[in-house]
Structure 1
Amino acid sequence: MWFKHLHLYRLHDAPELPSDALESALQEHVAKPLGNADARRLGWTAPAGRLGNGQLVHEIQAHRLLSALRQERLLPASVVKEEVDEQVADIEASEGRKVTRKEKTALKEQITEELLPRAFVRSQKIDLWWDTRSQLIGINASSRTRAEDILDLLRETLGSLKVTPLSSQTLPIRAMTTWLGDAASRPADLQLGDQVELKAKGDDGVLRARQVDLDSDEIQQLLESGRQASKLAISLEGRLSFVLHDDLALKALRFGDALIEEADHADDGDDALARLETDFILMAQALSADIPRLIEWLGGETQREPAAQ
């Protein structure tokens, strides 16, 4: 249940939506098996799987857990190209002429349509945390694109959704560079990890370092040469650690041992559904407490007007 990544979004003017009304709306866009002609599909699925009896919304103390299922057929371009090349060769040999580009395009579309039903299906479950008190949404996705796909699904489900990526007054790349270069600038309960990505202002590329002392002379010399920290591993007093990205994404999330132990010792009666909900609420409470502190360290939140959606 514990999220590995987090892309954060601010909700604007969100209407009150009871949990049962949200459940009904999600049911209208529930995930269905891919049809033979479908390349991909996205729909809502039960966060607890079969354990939850199809329940699509888990709401605990104003924190909601939703899950989307992304299904995609895997049809490598090399397989399609090989089949196209073979058929083109057959046509040219039998008819004694060159196949035109337009014909190749038509062949490619035809072959793709024929092979698609036989392609393997890859499924990925993507979880969404919705803090209804602070009107914050966090999506456990490895990329911003995947997170935006889930927001599009939620927008389609609700009819409208005014939301913007969470942003701060101080750019993360500027704050991370300052923290890295000046130990005195770091908040009292912020600790550096052992991973960093340094970008050059010119065309000198990106330097990535893992399992290194970020206060070492080598790192300081790179900063003095003009490089900036675009990713930085940090922790908050041992409660939460992650790699902060320059777009405010949190990657490689790890929750503190004390929190994990609290979850392990919770009295859930060996009920898997109760265990999922216990893990979720402990995680959600930790995130809702620590994310505002991170934003405060970044100079506070930027007030952004959402585009009409």
Structure 2
Amino acid sequence: MFYRHLTLMRFSPAVAADLVQRLAEGIAEHPLRACGPLEMYTKGFVPPVGDANAPMTADINSCLFATVAGEDKLLPAAVLNDALRRKVQQIAEEEGRKVGGRERKRIREDLLTELLPRAFVRRSITPAYVDTKDGWMVIDTASRKQAESVLTQWREALGSFPAVPLAPEEGPRVLMTDWLANGNLPAGFALGDECELRDPATATGAIVRARRQDLDAEEVKEHLRNGKQVFALGLVFDGRISFVLGEDLSVRKLRFLDVVMDQLGDDMQDAETEATATWWLMTAELRRMLDKLVDVFGLPRPADL
């Protein structure tokens, strides 16, 4: 139940004022429904923990949790194209004529209507929470596209939700390059064992990815001396959380270390109890880390309008 990746957004104190009530009411009107026979996908909310009858939100440590889910029909293009090829071939053999482009398009649409109800359905979920105290939206994904899809669902449920991407005052790429080149890390941070270096001069410049690597090694610093910059950097915060920070301030490979995990204990009675304990601990730890990122990069919270 710990998040594995983070895409971060911020919102103003005014937005936070009635967010708990608005979201609870809005989500109730936007639950996930099953894909209809001729639908390719559906999206909506599901309970963050428990079965379908469980509460649709969880309010823990001044953080409101909600989960967006989707159902997608799995109908590979190769399957549809093969069915179309066989149908066109059948017409050619039985009627002795070629199938034109307009007819081929109609046949394809008919086949799609025929095949969709029999396609497998895949469900996906994307958890997220909003910290109403500090104005963070935290989405468990490293994909900007997936994060935008989740934000769209929240906005539909709320009517409006002006959460915005981070706008750092200090350039993450410049700072992280300095940290790696000179060891000038902010207090509380230590280097991990992973980085991605790129030549920023061209879009197709050389890329170096290092994993399980001593980042203080001379071979890494040589790449920096040759002009490469840090686009992603493995970090450890306060000896408690390890992660890879991207130049867009997305967080990947988030892992809470043993000193944190040992606080959970082993006496969880059910899934709801475990989720409450896990999310309380996670939000408390991330709140400290995000406060530090605000200080380091300058990440202003949007002002009330």
- TM tier relative to shorter chain: over 0.9
Deviations 1:26-51 (A, max 9, x none): 1100111111111111111011122x
Q: Is the 8 A contact 1:47 1:65 kept in 2?
A: yes
Gap change, CA 1:28 and 1:226, over 3 Å in 2: same
The correspondence of residues 82-231 of structure 1 with structure 2, limited to 5 A, is 82-183=82-183, 185-200=184-199, 201-202=201-202, 203-231=204-232
Q: 2:276 & 2:292 partners in 1: Cα distance?
A: 25
How big is each residue's C-alpha offset from its partner over 1:83-116, in whole Å with a ceiling of 9 and x where there is no partner?
1111122223333333222322222222222211
Q: Secondary structure at the match of 2:113?
A: helix
Name the CA distance, whole Å, in 2 between partners of 1:109 and 1:198.
Answer: 46
Matched letter for residue 220 of structure 2: I
1:167·1:248 contact (CA, 8 Å) conserved in 2? no
Question: In 2, distance between residues paired with 1:215 and 1:228?
Answer: 15
Corresponding position of 2:295: 296
Q: Using the alignment, how far apart are the partners of 2:107 and 2:94 within structure 1?
A: 16
> Does the CA-based 8 Å contact 2:11-2:301 persist in structure 1?
no
In 1, the alpha carbon distance for the partners of 2:101 and 2:228 equals 47
The one-letter amino acid paired with 1:287 is L
Query: How far is 1:15 from its partner?
Result: 5.3
Counterpart position of 1:278: 277
Question: What are the equivalent positions in structure 2 for 1:32-71 lying under 5 Å apart?
Answer: 32-50=33-51, 53-71=53-71
Q: 1:169 to 1:18 in 2, by over 3 A?
A: closer
Partner Cα separation in structure 2 for residue 169 and residue 275 of structure 1:
38
CA distance in 1 between partners of 2:84 and 2:219 (Å): 53
Normalization by structure 2: what TM-score? Answer: 0.92
1:96-146 CA-partner distances (Å, limit 9, x unpaired): 333222322222222222211111111112111110011110000241111
Distance 2:46 2:145 in 1: 19
The CA distance in 2 between the partners of 1:247 and 1:149, in whole Å, is 18
1:271 CA drift (Å): 3.2
- Aligned identity (percent) is 31
Contact 1:66 1:128 in 2 (8 A): yes
State how far apart, in whole Å, the 2-side matches of 1:118 and 1:69 are.
21
Q: Distance in 1 between matches of 2:301 and 2:22?
A: 29
SS at match of 1:234: strand
Alpha-carbon offset, residue 148 of structure 1: 0.9
Question: Where does the alignment leave 5 or more consecutive residues of structure 1 unmatched?
Answer: none
| SS of equivalent to 2:194 | strand
Distance, in Å, in 1 between the alignment partners of 2:109 and 2:206 is 38
Letter in 2 for 1:301: L
1:180, distance to aligned residue in structure 2 (A): 1.1
TM-score by length of 1: 0.91
Tell me, in whole angstroms, the C-alpha distance in 2 between the residues paired with 1:59 and 1:303. Answer: 22
Query: Structure 1 segments of 4 or more deviating over 4 A?
Result: 302-306
Q: Counterpart of 1:232 in structure 2: which amino acid?
A: L
Q: Secondary structure at the match of 1:254?
A: strand
Does the C-alpha gap of structure 1 residues 113 and 93 become closer, same or farther in structure 2, counting only changes over 3 Å? same
Q: Give the whole-Å Cα distance in 2 for the aligned partners of 1:18 and 1:161.
A: 9
Check whether the contact 1:75–1:119 (CA below 8 A) recurs between aligned residues.
Answer: yes
RMSD (Å) for aligned C-alpha atoms: 2.1
Query: What is the Cα deviation at residue 167 of structure 1?
Result: 2.6
Query: Does structure 1 residue 80 correspond to structure 2 residue 66?
Result: no
CA, structure 1 residues 303+114, in 2 after alignment: closer, same or farther (shift >3 Å)?
Answer: same
SS of 1:156's equivalent? helix
Amino acid paired to 1:72: D
Moved more, 234-243 or 197-206: 197-206
Cα deviation, 1:163-188, whole Å, max 9, x if unaligned, reads 111231122222221111111x2113
CA contact (8 A) 2:10 2:301 kept: no
CA–CA separation in structure 2 for the residues paired with 1:91 and 1:116: 22
Give the residue type in structure 1 aligned to 2:93: A
Structure 1 contact 129–284 (Cα < 8 Å) conserved: no
Q: Secondary structure at the residue paired with 2:15? A: coil
- Count of paired positions: 302
